[in-house]
Amino acid sequence: MILLWLGFAILLLPALWLLVSPLRRARLVHEAQRDFETNDKSTEQNVAIYQRRLASLEAALERGDIDEARFAEDRLELDRSLLEDTEGLKRHALHSPAAGRLMVPIVALAVVVGAVLWYQQQGAEGDLALFDVYQQSESLPDLMQRLEQQAESQPGNPNVWASLFPLYRDSGQGEAALNALEQLIAIEGRVPSLLAQKAQLKFFMADRTLTDEVQALIDETLERDAREPTIFGMLGVHAFDRGDYEQAIDHWRRAIAGMPESGSSRALREGIQVAQQRLGVAPNEQEALPQGPGVHVSVRLAEELQGLLDDDTRVFIVARDMEGELPPLAVARVTLGDLPATLVLDDRHAMSDAASLSQASEVRLIVRVTKSGGATPETGDMFGDLEGVTVGDVEGDPVEVVIDRVIE
């Protein structure tokens, strides 16, 4: 920011120089004008011309070339002409060369203050501060703390809330994510994409239930944009949970059609594969196509934990960076009845374009069996993990993760 204001100061210097430069020449101009007026002979020349023309007119009268009436008329015209010529030559007293100096600093100050006020209203000072936050942050918690400080100092900047929302969401802070999203909607208006994000967030916060509030948000979003992909992705999840796999596939395909190729679309294609497998249909080749380097993983439940939970209990298979600073790099979902299961995690399973498996060389695999289906671990959930798993070719033997512990 210091460099920015220094740049503004440098840009203002030419304007201030143009304001001050006339003062440097004021005395020279004053002296030149005074000398000009002192040496100006215009009045004497006009009087001399008048006298010559009057003498010529009197001579014509003596010779009898004109009569008295014509002489009086021509002399009146001659007198009027002299008055007109000399009247325009009347000069006011010259002002001092120091007159008006006070206005220069006043105008200069007005230019500087006006430029600063205009930039504060129309400029991007807040976004530059936000850019500095990303540059200076050393970890995800540090980034969140700095963004929260920015939210306090510039609550009207939509980019602050748009940055905080996905961080809260991906870290399982549902209420904080909802607050950030509502702040964003208050600033940007009821934009379909934001309403869809709110509906999806409330859907997952309600344990994947279409509450009346969620349904109202869905109806409003589709009324504003009938092709909003986030809504169809959420409806596909709801249909899948009910066992309506054909409806889930239809919703997910409509969602993919409305979004660019990204981690979200790849995750939906993975969901379509699972739904097709449940229906006994061979997965579509394009939807099953691997995306970049990945991890070939096999998941099983330890014998001592078998039978504790129902077969339809959700199982999340998550790949995270070794430092734990980024959002999940890949997420896949199966049920306890599907285990043991072997699958490939790759960029199709990314939750966002900002974090994917192809960005890491090694990952930590975490498998969690969740009774509630939520993203936040709870007492009674079962889990297993494996660290230092290499990301690369998926053609070899899978690495094995055993679910062998219970969260207490």
The position carrying tokens 């008048």 is 50
CA dihedral 259, 261, 267, 269 (to 10 degrees): 90
Q: Which residue has the higher pLDDT, 76 or 125?
A: 76
Under DSSP, the state recorded for 315 is E
The position carrying tokens 């790849």 is 266
In this structure, which amino acid lies at residue 232?
F
In this structure, which amino acid lies at residue 132?
D
pLDDT of residue 326: 81
Instruction: Name the 3-class secondary structure at 368.
Output: strand
Q: What is the rounded CA–CA span in Å between residue 403 and residue 318? A: 13
pLDDT of residue 336: 86
Tokens at 120, concatenated? 């504060």
Q: Does position 293 have pLDDT exceeding 90, yes or no?
A: no
Q: What is the pLDDT of residues 186-235, one digit of tens each?
A: 999 999 999 999 999 999 989 889 999 999 999 999 999 888 999 999 99
Model confidence, pTM: 0.49
Q: How far is CA 319 from CA 149, 260, 298, in A?
A: 30, 23, 13
Average pLDDT, the chain: 79
Q: What is the rounded CA–CA span in Å between residue 133 and residue 156? A: 17
Q: Does position 143 have pLDDT exceeding 80, yes or no?
A: yes
Q: What is the rounded CA–CA span in Å between residue 183 and residue 188? A: 9
Query: How, if at all, do strands 399-403 and 295-301 pair?
Result: parallel
User: How far does Cα 306 stand from its chain's mean position?
Assistant: 49
